[in-house]
Amino acid sequence: MPPVIDTTMRKIQLGALHVVEKTIRRFSLVGDKEFFDPQEFPWVPEVEARWQDARAELDRVLEERDAIPNFQDISIDQLELTQDDRWKTFFFYAYGIRNDVNCRVCPRTAELIESIPGMTTAFFSILLPKKRLPPHRGPYKGVLRYHLALMIPDPASCGISVGRHQKQWREGKSLIFDDTYEHEAWNGSDQIRVVLFVDFRRPLPIPVSFLNDFIIYCIRSSAFVQSGVTRLQQWNERFEAAYHRLSG
């Protein structure tokens, strides 16, 4: 496609997405704000009650840390945020596409994730010591972001800011926020920080929810996401081999 036409098409797509996001903001059943009270979501207490299942499986995964990909190894647009090896990701789902290998390695975590209504993406988000993610914005307002804190070495040295608000993670506790507000996260400690990172569909009324489902489907079907899934499958082979050596 000629550069001028390609640029024009991108502008049209961004304009259409802006209109969709305005609609989502207007009709959101949980409002439009940076952080949300986890108690607004009835599934949160059950997830928190089972957090130690995920933590136990995480501990085993981290024994093969070198075989876990950096985020930019899977999603190349993350190069704008990180270019070292201190933000690692262990994917279970990507826009609804199941990663069977990792779900098989961590079956209880996979079951926990699958119990979250509207879940689209889920992974262990692993920040190594002294890692800071600079301010950035998420790509789409049709999902909300959920963090279940699994490994927080020092709450005073680890945190996240969204818009004008700042919070710290607490092991076994939840944070829910809108990642389309500018946000940043950091691990200032000397140990690893891990959260179970989940995107789930924002609660919306019909027919706006149908429109949201369609947009998420289009994102899932895009060449960008599909190429990321291909890269993930290549890393799966590396991790699975390392994990079996450890288990054997």
Where in the chain are the domains?
A: 3-247
Does the structure show a pLDDT above 80 at 5? Answer: no
pTM greater than 0.85: yes
Q: Which helix (H) or strand (E) holds 179?
A: none
User: Which residues lie closer than 8 Å to 142 by C-beta, 6 or more apart?
Assistant: 20, 21, 24, 201, 202, 204, 212, 215, 216
More confidently predicted of 237 and 183: 183
Mean pLDDT (whole number) for 67-82: 81
Q: Is the domain covering 3-247 a CATH 3.40.190.10 domain?
A: no
Mean residue pLDDT of the chain comes to 90
Task: Report residue 64 CA to chain centroid gap.
Answer: 21
pLDDT > 70: percent of the chain: 92
Spatial neighbors of 36 by CB under 8 A, at least 6 apart, are 30, 144, 176, 177, 178
pLDDT at 77: 73
Mean pLDDT of 75-81: 74
Q: Please give the Cα distance from 84 to 13 (Å, whole number).
A: 32
* pLDDT band (50, 70, 90) for residue 241: confident
Give the least confident one: 33-47, 172-186, 189-203, 210-224: 210-224
Determine what percent of the chain is predicted with pLDDT higher than 90.
72
Amino acid 123: pLDDT: 98
> Which has the minimum average pLDDT: 78-92, 127-141, 185-199?
78-92
Angstrom distance (rounded) from CA 38 to CA 128: 26
Structural tokens at position 91: 């994917």
Least confident of 24-38, 62-76, 98-112, 150-164: 62-76
Band the pLDDT of 190: cuts 50, 70, 90.
very high
Q: Within 88-143, where are the H helices?
A: 100-105, 107-114
Handedness of CA 70, 75, 80, 81 (dihedral sign): negative
Look-up: residue for tokens 């500018």? 182
**Among all chains, which residue has been given the structure tokens 């199941």?**
98
- At residue 224, the pLDDT reads 83
Please write down the long-range contacts of 69-77, taking CB distance under 8 Å and 24 or more positions apart.
Answer: 69/231, 69/232, 69/235, 73/231, 73/235, 74/228, 74/231, 74/232, 74/235, 75/228, 76/228, 77/224
Segment 25-36 shows an average pLDDT of 97
Strand partners for 16: none
